[in-house]
Structure 1
Amino acid sequence: MPFPLTALAIGAHLLLVAEGPVPTLDTAPSCRAAAEFGAQSKTTFDQCMNDEKSALAAIEKEWKTFSTGSVDSCLSETRSDGTPSYVELQECLELARDSKKYQNQPQPKI
């Protein structure tokens, strides 16, 4: 019976909740990139950094509601292009968590 135990060991991390602190991301490169496309680059950069700070606060508040599997996947995604973002991380984590809620609900009969 090695298969069921292997499957359990591999999938178990998907059920665990995130532990420890929220990882530190350098969001300045992401905001600098966004500011390059804005008409008022200083204002755009500052607003972007404020958005990142707000997203970090929201993630910290809800950190224990996210699974380690979602955290690993979403962190990998936001870091993939070299411009990590707490706003992107927050959206990914919330979508992953909320989609799991709806998957477990009974489907309406049509």
Structure 2
Amino acid sequence: MMIPLTAFFLSTQMVVAVADRVPVLNFEPGCRHLAQLDLTVDPSYKNCVQEEKSARTQLSREWGQFAAADRTRCTEETNMTPGVAPSYVEVLECLNMARDVATTGQIRRPRH
């Protein structure tokens, strides 16, 4: 019974570590892939990298305002899909949706 209990404590510590600070994500492969697919409004690699860096800066400013459980979940979700590069934009969108649901009970849709 000691091994499962030890594994539990180790995994709990890793979750806390993930939630404590903005994750370090390797988003550049995803930007290269998007630029090759030409599926975005501005498919340039440079634009994608700028969007990712901007999202990381915003996450750095607002990280502590999000619930720890949401920070952990959103970070884990962006790293879940094998072969798909993680994204700060994705983490930020996930966290904003979680916050919207917690405060208003619904997801806010951007106005066009």
TM-score of the pair, normalised by structure 2: 0.67
Deviates more, 1:68-77 or 1:48-57: 68-77
**Whole-angstrom CA distance in 2 between matches of 1:19 and 1:27:** 19
- In 1, are the aligned partners of 2:70 and 2:98 still within 8 Å (CA)? yes
- In 2, are the aligned partners of 1:22 and 1:60 still within 8 Å (CA)? yes
- In 2, are the aligned partners of 1:19 and 1:64 still within 8 Å (CA)? no
Q: Which runs of 4+ in 1 moved over 3 A?
A: none
Q: Which runs of 5+ in 2 are unaligned?
A: 1-17, 106-112
Q: Which has the higher contact order (CA 8 A, sep 6+)?
A: 1
- In 1, are the aligned partners of 2:20 and 2:68 still within 8 Å (CA)? no
The answer to whether the aligner puts 1:80 opposite 2:80 as a matched pair is yes
TM-score of the pair, normalised by structure 1: 0.69
Number of paired residues? 84
- Seq. identity, %: 35
Structure of greater Rg: 1
- The SS at the match of 1:23 is coil
**Corresponding position of 2:64:** 64
Q: Which runs of 5+ in 1 are unaligned?
A: 1-17, 104-110
**Corresponding position of 1:47:** 47
**Corresponding position of 1:97:** 99
Deviations 1:27-46 (A, max 9, x none): 0111011111129xxx6111
Deviates more, 1:18-27 or 1:55-64: 18-27
